């Protein structure tokens, strides 16, 4: 596969390592009253769509960017590639 890195252009997927569902960005609040339940769902419950999937890839053999890759897991078509830090900010994460 070829992943179109937002900073570096097209790169072979061999340069990357795969983590999993990009919903990992939405890490729960540790101080919520039901934090254990929320973390449980966050860590263990995943959608497994036969189609578009947003997933985290790490450019380990490159610039070490974490990317959010939107990929159709049936056809392997890659529809969008974003820097994970941009996605995280857009989802309200800061520091």
Give me the residues that bind other proteins (CB under 8 A), please: 1-2, 17, 19, 24-25, 27-28, 30-31, 35-36, 39-40, 42-43, 56, 58, 60, 64-66, 75-78, 83-89, 93-95
Residue among 36 and 49 whose Cβ is closer to other proteins: 36
Residue among 21 and 48 whose Cβ is closer to other proteins: 21
Beta-carbon count within 10 A of 25 CB: 19
Report the C-alpha gap between 76 and 92 in whole angstroms. 29
Q: Is 22 exposed, middle or buried (0-12, 13-18, 19+ CB in 10 A)?
A: buried
Q: How far is the CB of 17 from other proteins (least distance, A)?
A: 7
């Amino acid at each position: 596969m070829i992943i179109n890195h937002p900073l570096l252009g097209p790169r072979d997927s061999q340069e990357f390592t795969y983590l999993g569902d990009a919903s990992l960005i939405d890490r729960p609040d540790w101080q919520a009253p039901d934090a254990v339940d929320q973390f449980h769902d966050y860590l263990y419950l995943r959608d497994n769509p036969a189609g578009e999937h947003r997933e985290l890839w790490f450019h380990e053999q490159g610039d070490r960017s974490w990317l959010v890759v939107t990929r159709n897991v049936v056809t392997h078509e890659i529809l969008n590639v974003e820097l994970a830090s941009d996605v995280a900010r857009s989802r309200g994460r800061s520091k």
